[in-house]
Amino acid sequence: MKHYSVAIDGPSGAGKSTLARAVAGKFGFLYVDTGAIYRTVGLSALRAGVDPKDAGAVTALLPETRVELSHADDGLQHMYLNGEDVTEQIRTPEVSMAASAVAAYASVRAFLMDAQRDLAKTHNVVMDGRDIGTVVLPDADVKIFLTASAQERAWRRTLELSKRGTPKPYEEVLAELEARDRDDANRTEAPLRQAADAVRLDNTQLTFQETVDAMSEIIQGRIDV
Ligand code: DC
């Protein structure tokens, strides 16, 4: 049976997760947040007292690292590290930096590749990440490169952190975001870049709903849903 796949890539803070989840819900597709998977590996390193920047030590940790995910009825993706639900714990700025570091290793990317591809083989998916349209699902039916200006993305993240009760100054958020953008785009393994056949959508000036509508239109123009 044919399963449809929608690949959503772009820099952090463009709203990929919330938007991809909303769009998946609208079309009845499974939403897969691949960033959460890298975050879980990042958390695993931190918990083991391993420096995420130490490629060898992180790689050595992989055979004893069990990463699983499940989807709640409301579409929320839960992440499990060695059986423990770490859905909340992977959302700290510290884990963001660790995830960015471990995501640069070929060993980590290979370790997580099959799980991502298997999900797309067995479900209609909206999958968000950095290399979904370029590496993980190069034959995806729809590819969207979702972006916004660094200032707008930092502003949104600042609001989010403050809502979560862990406020951080805008300037600091912007600096961290720009550093992470640079790392994600300049790494050798699966760097963040737009696939040649992806549609670029810049939502700096768009509301959430306007972005959902624009994404839906792109999807409907390419697949029969
Ligand atoms: O989207 P996010 O912020 O949750 O992603 C966390 C980190 O993982 C980010 O630095 C980029 C990396 N990542 C990746 O390299 N490839 C993916 N498919 C998804 C995320």
pLDDT single digits (tens) 153-169:
999 999 988 998 989 99
pLDDT at 19: 96
Decide if pLDDT at 108 tops 80: yes
pLDDT at 217: 97
Question: What average pLDDT is seen over the chain?
Answer: 94
pLDDT tens digits, 41-89? 999 999 999 999 999 999 999 999 999 999 887 778 999 999 999 999 9
Instruction: Decide: 34 in ligand 1 pocket, CB within 6 A.
Output: yes
pLDDT at 138: 97
Instruction: Decide: 8 in ligand 1 pocket, CB within 6 A.
Output: no
| Helix-, strand-, coil-residue percentages of the chain, each rounded to 5 | 50, 15, 35
Instruction: Decide: 105 in ligand 1 pocket, CB within 6 A.
Output: no
Query: What does the longest C-alpha to C-alpha distance in the chain come to?
Result: 49
To 5 degrees, how large is the angle CA 109–CA 113–CA 116? 130
Report whether 190 contacts 134 (CB < 8 A). yes
pLDDT tens digits, 83-107? 999 999 999 889 999 999 999 999 9
DSSP state of 142: E
pLDDT at 21: 94
Mention every residue, 6+ apart, whose C-beta is less than 8 A from residue 7.
Answer: 127, 128, 129, 132, 133, 136, 137, 140, 142, 143, 144, 195, 198
Report whether 217 contacts 223 (CB < 8 A). no
Using the atom order of ligand 1, give the atom closest to the CA of residue 17.
1
Q: Residue 14: pLDDT band by 50, 70, 90 thresholds?
A: very high
Instruction: Decide: 128 in ligand 1 pocket, CB within 6 A.
Output: no
Domains annotated on the chain, with CATH: 5-220 (3.40.50.300)
Instruction: Decide: 43 in ligand 1 pocket, CB within 6 A.
Output: no
Instruction: Decide: 9 in ligand 1 pocket, CB within 6 A.
Output: no
Q: Please state the length of the chain.
A: 225
Mention every residue, 6+ apart, whose C-beta is less than 8 A from residue 132.
Answer: 7, 8, 9, 34, 116, 140, 143
215 sits in which H/E element:
helix 208-220
* CA 3 to ligand 1 center in whole angstroms: 24
153 sits in which H/E element:
helix 150-163
Residue 162 token pair: 């403050």
Instruction: Decide: 99 in ligand 1 pocket, CB within 6 A.
Output: yes
Q: Residue 184: pLDDT band by 50, 70, 90 thresholds?
A: confident
Could you tell me the CA-to-CA distances from 124 to 7, 17, 212 in Å, in that order? 11, 17, 18
* CA 128 to ligand 1 center in whole angstroms: 9
pLDDT at 2: 87
For ligand 1, atom 5, name the residue with the nearest CA.
Answer: 35
Residue linked to tokens 């995420």: 52
Could you tell me the CA-to-CA distances from 210 to 84, 127, 197, 202, 218 in Å, in that order? 37, 20, 22, 11, 12
Q: Residue 191: pLDDT band by 50, 70, 90 thresholds?
A: confident
For ligand 1, atom 4, name the residue with the nearest CA.
Answer: 35
Using the atom order of ligand 1, give the atom closest to the CA of residue 12.
3
Q: Residue 144: pLDDT band by 50, 70, 90 thresholds?
A: very high
The stretch 12-22 carries a mean pLDDT of 92
pLDDT at 110: 95
